[in-house]
Amino acid sequence: MTPDLDTVREFFRLSPFMVDLGVEPTAVSAGRITTQLPLRQRHMQHTGQAHAGVMTALADHSMGAAAQTLAPEGHWVLTAELKTSALRPGRGERLVCEAHVLKAGRRISFTEAEVYAEQGGQRTLVMKASATMAIVAADA
């Protein structure tokens, strides 16, 4: 994938779940991506904070997209292993995810992400994530 913002936005539009959540890429470079999700009532737990599944989905897809920017043409990146650590409640106007590739390989890539809750321009780290991404031929 060409690591430009228009291409990555189209990549996100191909995922109905990301569209439904409202996730949007805001910055991209080779092996790196930043995404955001304006928080709405539908993203919340009964406790008034972002559901951990929402934060996890944001981190997972962002890490996959970061790895996809380095994948060879004709290949897709799929999550093989995912770990998240919720550090504090996700409360604010939006979630912002910064994801990057730690090590890109031919068959697997290692990625990390940080998810922040943003309120009034102030960011609070709410989740750390890491994932092993499998690189598979698109026709497989």
- pLDDT tens digits, 6-47: 999 999 999 999 999 999 999 999 999 999 999 999 999 999
CA 110-111-117 angle, to 5 degrees, is 165
Q: Alpha helices of 35-134 — where are they, by DSSP H? A: 52-68
Q: What is the spatial distance between Cα 37 and Cα 33, in angstroms, rounded to a whole number?
A: 14
- For the chain, the structural domain boundaries read 5-137
3-state DSSP assignment of residue 84? strand
Token digits of residue 129: 């994530």
* Secondary element (H or E) of residue 5: helix 5-13
Give pTM, 2 decimals.
Answer: 0.95
Class of domain 5-137: alpha beta
